[in-house]
Structure 1
Amino acid sequence: MRNSINPEDIDFYNEYGFVRIRSLLSPEETERLRTYQNQALALRGNYRFADRDILADEKPVFERMFRQRLNLWRTYEPLREFALSPGIAKIAAELSGVDAVRLWHDSAFVKQPWANGTFWHFDAAYWSFNSRRGITVWVALTDSRPDNGGLYFMPGSHREVDFDLPVFAQDHVAGLFDLPGYEHWREREAVSLPLKAGDCTFHNGLTLHGSGINMTPYHREGWTCAYMPDGSTFNGKPNVLPEDYLATLGIGDPLNNDDLNPVVYRKPDRGSRDRGF
């Protein structure tokens, strides 16, 4: 499993809000993650969340775009190898420019044959914390291309977008661009980054992205993991947090629950390294 990047990757990410990393996982690791995810999906069934009785068919628009199941790592032990991987989290922290990151959630993203495109959106609008350094890794478990629903990004959008979740029509892929303040994105050119199985992209939580229609009879399988900078605080949005935990939170409270959102990478203290620890 890859756990390092070069300065050019960081510069690219800072400039454009996303970056492609080749061979994050070896072929063996990719197939293992794919197997684990499919096993976890079979166990989860139609429930989107691990601890809430929210059926996928309550979100029919989403189900026609992709099969999404959240926090699978909490209900299927083998997935913890990847969700809690310090190597992947280390790359996320280095790209974000933070010393420590907590796991926010993992998620399966399976675009079924002939599935609809995924409307333009940005992840930070949904998260329970506001940080311009939140980041998501999207790992291809099968090849991802424009013809089978591969991702598209709007370069530089992470520098212009704010945290508020805009209410927009979800009946067409560019519904977000109908809103005041977002119309100019219709005139911008998006970037598609084809991925081989085992490749990934990292994107900032404020980077606009979406995906096209799967124009093939095959599943396009992806796994994602979102990371929250350590020290982030609650903004009032429930997102993936359990209801019993939400009941204890007030806006501004630290999101430091080590069971739900464990620290998966912390930069070693320089003094400890110097002492050989």
Structure 2
Amino acid sequence: MSLILRISLILQTEDKSTGEKGVVSEKLTRELEQPYPLDEENIRYFRQAGFVKLKNVVPPKALEVYGAAIGELVEALNPMRGIPLEQRTTYKKAFIQITNLWQKSERVREFVFSRRLARIAAELMGTRGVRLYHDQALFKEPSGGFTPWHADQYYWPLASEKCCTVWIPLQATPLEMGPLAFAAASQHFEYGRDLEISEKSEALI
């Protein structure tokens, strides 16, 4: 059995940074091909809570290089460019979203399809392999809107619950910047799964 993997990349865009350009070194790509040392507690916690925080999965230099490539793509493809925040819906105030960046950049493709990320997902879900559903970049703008509480998986066109998302922050994100949060064990609840990401989902969930 294979599992569906969705990779999400998050950046708080407080200021612009061009990052590093040029050829990605063999060392960076080699590091992302090596296994990450998951332990039994990581796997147990993931299966119970529905999420697990893993540290140092992506080496800092790799995050810098690939993050710069992702940032450049989002800047170029930004569908919200020129639209003031006050003219957007609650959903579109929350973040800039670009999907399937792997199809638009060979460098991003290297990152999204790295064996390290795929193997982590497979081990957590207890499967022999994974297939990519999609990747997406979510960029939080300065003074942008909040992200309402919501449930993602219910609207995916899948007949299996063997799926997970790898969330990767592209920068340090302390508590005051509003990092990603999960409701532990909420994968077992049905309530609120049919709600769109909106003020209603925030109020009810």
> Among 161, 179, 195, which residue is 1:167 paired with?
195
Counting matched residue pairs gives 168
Matched, 1:71 2:100: yes
The answer to whether the 8 A contact 2:99-2:135 is kept is yes
- Shift in Å at residue 155 of structure 1? 0.7
- Shift in Å at residue 28 of structure 1? 0.5
> Among 35, 45, 62, which residue is 1:3 paired with?
35
Matched, 1:152 2:181: yes
5+ residue gaps in structure 2?
A: 1-31
- Shift in Å at residue 10 of structure 1? 0.1
Higher share of residues assigned helix? 2
Identical residues among aligned pairs (%): 29
- Shift in Å at residue 7 of structure 1? 1.1
Instruction: Tell me: CA distance 1:36–1:166, structure 2 relative to 1, closer, same or farther (3 Å).
Output: same
Q: Aligned ranges for residues 50-61 of structure 1 at < 5 Å?
A: 60-61=89-90
Q: Where do 4+ consecutive residues of structure 1 move more than 4 Å?
A: none
The answer to whether the 8 A contact 2:69-2:108 is kept is yes
Bigger RCO (CA 8 Å, 6+ sep) = 2
RMSD between superposed Cα atoms in Å = 2.5
- What letter corresponds to residue 171 of structure 1 in structure 2? E
In structure 1, what is the Cα distance between the partners aligned to 2:120 and 2:197? 35
Q: Which has the larger radius of gyration?
A: 1
- Shift in Å at residue 84 of structure 1? 0.9
Structure 2 match to 1:193: none
5+ residue gaps in structure 1?
A: 48-54, 178-277
Structure 1 match to 2:73: 40
Q: Secondary structure at the match of 2:149?
A: strand
Q: Deviations over 1:162-184 (max 9, x none)?
A: 8x95135712662342xxxxxxx
The answer to whether the 8 A contact 2:63-2:170 is kept is yes
